[in-house]
């Protein structure tokens, strides 16, 4: 092989990280071959022993890589043959690198998804822990980034928990389609050797076997799907990061970020920069790019294995690495940041956050919505001119807008009055928020227990 081609076609520089999954797959494959009479018990024992030996050398980084051996599969097989001679030459019976790489990748993605799920749960728990800490704190909710209505801070945290729960749902759903065994598809048509695919699948903890040997080696749907799932997580983290960057500015003054996750400036001594959040926002771009790369890579490929598929690994690995790190950093930032309750409440009078509930109080008294909307709009104009909140308008000013004004309408005014008047399910009424918190506590606790009972 030409040197330039060797350098061009090698994948060991990035697929070496599949070694544990490759060895696990090979041991399962050999175990099945033995049960089917294609290896003797002694041969299996030797293969298993030597594969574990190779794994230990890889663990210790005492296993040199050579680009002429191309990929992780060839490296391991080559070392096996070096150690065992003809016995080592039997491992690749009824197997091709095409079904082998598909198997390795599925095992790797399955592990990756499990790690992501743990991290997502950890982040949900971090937001949940804030709900108790920030109980009773009222913040403005924004639409169009303009002050809209008052909500409990916990209501905000619960909103993030919802997003992360959907992410966990997508992880679980994706995992079901990942957890299918390709091994035994061989190169493309299956094999004439008497293998037992279901046994191998069982040994590797796969739910079932992939149904069609041609589809097997070309199918990378699971890779794209997992990267999409990660992209959605990236989008959620990016939006959260942006929000907290804003909230931590002097202009907002809502949040103090933990200094150990911030950096200083080399020239402006007073600066505390939210770099972790900025990078979280920025790194989501990489994952979006990775998704685009994978989609482009697969577009138009004819059936079965094509070497293009080797290029699936860098974007796949990078997406998992990136999102796992973002999640790892997000949890302590969420736990350790401090809500600046006084700074927030000192400005809750600004922005007429109670305007909507005042309008709804009118509606409850039979005034048509459009008319009530108009009334409140006119009152806000008066209040703005005088530089006061709605609650400070006089009864006479209210009557100027609606002669039948009833002072009991005032109970909907003020930020607390607005919060207390919410009643729709899922609203920011303190009782509803308490219910949500309770529901999430139960759910996340049982998820934690289920995870703790599985091995990490």
Catalytic positions are: 144, 265
Q: How far is the CB of 297 from ligand ARG (least distance, A)?
A: 11
Per CB under 6 A, which region of 135-143, 301-309, 333-341, 377-385 contacts ligand ARG?
301-309
Does residue 309 bind ligand ARG (CB under 6 A)? Answer: yes
Taking CB under 6 A as the criterion, the residue among 280, 310, 319, 414 binding ligand ARG is: 310
Q: How far is the CB of 311 from ligand ARG (least distance, A)?
A: 8
Q: How far is the CB of 192 from ligand ARG (least distance, A)?
A: 19
- Cα gap 307→67, rounded to integer Å: 16
Number of residues that bind ligand ARG (CB under 6 A): 10
Q: How far is the CB of 181 from ligand ARG (least distance, A)?
A: 17
CB of 81 closer than 8 Å to CB of 88:
yes
User: Six-digit token pair at 70?
Assistant: 């191309």
- Judged by CB, which is closer to ligand ARG: 10, or 134? 10
Taking CB under 6 A as the criterion, the residue among 23, 34, 101, 316 binding ligand ARG is: 101
User: Site residues for ligand ARG, window 15-54 (CB under 6 A)?
Assistant: 15
User: Site residues for ligand ARG, window 70-99 (CB under 6 A)?
Assistant: 71, 97-98
User: Site residues for ligand ARG, window 216-235 (CB under 6 A)?
Assistant: none
- Cα gap 333→360, rounded to integer Å: 38
Q: How far is the CB of 34 from ligand ARG (least distance, A)?
A: 25
- Judged by CB, which is closer to ligand ARG: 75, or 155? 75
Per CB under 6 A, which region of 27-35, 238-246, 307-315, 316-324 contacts ligand ARG?
307-315
- Judged by CB, which is closer to ligand ARG: 101, or 181? 101
Residue 424's SS3 state is: coil
Q: How far is the CB of 437 from ligand ARG (least distance, A)?
A: 47
- Judged by CB, which is closer to ligand ARG: 15, or 243? 15
Does residue 103 bind ligand ARG (CB under 6 A)? Answer: no
CB of 113 closer than 8 Å to CB of 175:
yes
Residue 181's SS3 state is: strand
- Cα gap 421→208, rounded to integer Å: 53
The residues, any chain, with a CB within 8 Å of residue 449's CB and separated by 6 or more, are none
Angle formed by the axes of helices 369-386 and 355-364, to 10°?
140
- Cα gap 390→415, rounded to integer Å: 11
Alpha helix segments (H runs only) across 299-429 = 313-336, 341-345, 355-364, 369-386, 395-401, 415-421
Taking CB under 6 A as the criterion, the residue among 240, 254, 305, 320 binding ligand ARG is: 305
In this structure, what are the phi and psi dihedrals at residue 151, rounded to the nearest 5 degrees? -140, 160
Q: How far is the CB of 10 from ligand ARG (least distance, A)?
A: 9
Angle formed by the axes of helices 41-59 and 72-84, to 10°?
120
Residue 103's SS3 state is: helix
The residues, any chain, with a CB within 8 Å of residue 330's CB and separated by 6 or more, are 123, 126, 237, 240, 280
Per CB under 6 A, which region of 116-124, 197-205, 305-313, 417-425 contacts ligand ARG?
305-313
Does residue 213 bind ligand ARG (CB under 6 A)? Answer: no
C-alpha pair distances (Å), 304 with each of 71, 102, 375: 19, 11, 68
- Judged by CB, which is closer to ligand ARG: 106, or 429? 106
**Site residues (vs ligand ARG, CB under 6 A):** 11, 15, 71, 97-98, 101, 305, 307, 309-310
């Amino acid at each position: 092989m030409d040197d330039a081609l060797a350098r061009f076609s090698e994948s060991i520089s990035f697929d070496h990280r599949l070694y544990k999954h490759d060895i696990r797959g090979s041991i399962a494959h050999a175990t099945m071959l033995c049960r089917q009479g294609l290896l003797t018990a002694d041969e299996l024992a030797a293969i298993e022993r030597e594969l574990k030996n190779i794994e230990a050398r890889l663990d210790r980084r005492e296993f040199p890589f050579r680009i002429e051996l191309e990929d992780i599969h060839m490296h391991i097989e080559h070392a096996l043959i070096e150690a065992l001679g003809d016995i080592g030459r039997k491992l690749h019976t009824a197997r091709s690198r095409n079904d082998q790489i598909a198997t390795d990748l599925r095992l790797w993605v399955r592990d990756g998804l499990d790690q992501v799920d743990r991290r997502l749960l950890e982040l949900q728990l971090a937001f949940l822990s804030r709900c108790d800490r920030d109980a009773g704190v009222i913040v403005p909710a924004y639409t169009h980034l303009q002050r809209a209505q008052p909500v409990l801070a916990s209501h905000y945290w619960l909103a993030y928990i919802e997003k992360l729960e959907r992410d966990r749902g997508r992880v679980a759903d994706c995992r079901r389609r990942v957890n299918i065994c390709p091994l035994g598809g061989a190169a493309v048509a299956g094999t004439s050797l008497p293998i037992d695919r279901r046994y191998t699948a069982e040994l590797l903890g796969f739910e079932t076997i992939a149904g069609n040997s041609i589809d097997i080696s070309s199918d990378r749907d699971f890779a794209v799907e997992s990267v999409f799932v990660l992209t959605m997580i990236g989008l959620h983290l990016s939006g959260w990061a942006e929000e907290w960057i804003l909230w931590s500015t002097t202009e907002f003054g809502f949040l103090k970020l933990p200094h150990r996750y911030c950096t200083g400036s080399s020239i402006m001594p007073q600066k505390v920069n939210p770099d972790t959040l900025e990078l979280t926002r920025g790194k989501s771009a990489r994952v979006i790019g990775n998704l685009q790369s994978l989609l482009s890579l697969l577009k138009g490929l004819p059936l079965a294995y094509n070497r293009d598929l080797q290029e699936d690994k860098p974007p796949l690995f990078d997406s998992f690495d990136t999102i796992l790190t973002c999640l790892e950093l997000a949890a302590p930032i969420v736990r350790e940041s401090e809500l600046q309750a006084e700074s927030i409440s000192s400005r809750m009078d600004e922005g007429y956050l109670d305007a909507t509930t005042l309008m709804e109080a009118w509606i409850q008294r039979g005034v048509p919505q459009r008319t009530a909307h108009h009334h409140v709009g006119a009152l806000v104009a008066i209040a703005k001119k005088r530089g006061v909140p709605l609650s400070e308008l006089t009864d006479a000013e209210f009557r100027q807008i609606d002669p039948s004004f009833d002072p009991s309408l005032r109970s909907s005014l003020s930020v607390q009055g607005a919060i207390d008047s919410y009643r729709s399910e899922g609203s920011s009424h303190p009782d509803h928020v308490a219910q949500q918190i309770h529901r999430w506590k139960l759910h996340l606790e049982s998820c934690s227990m289920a995870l703790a009972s599985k091995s990490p």
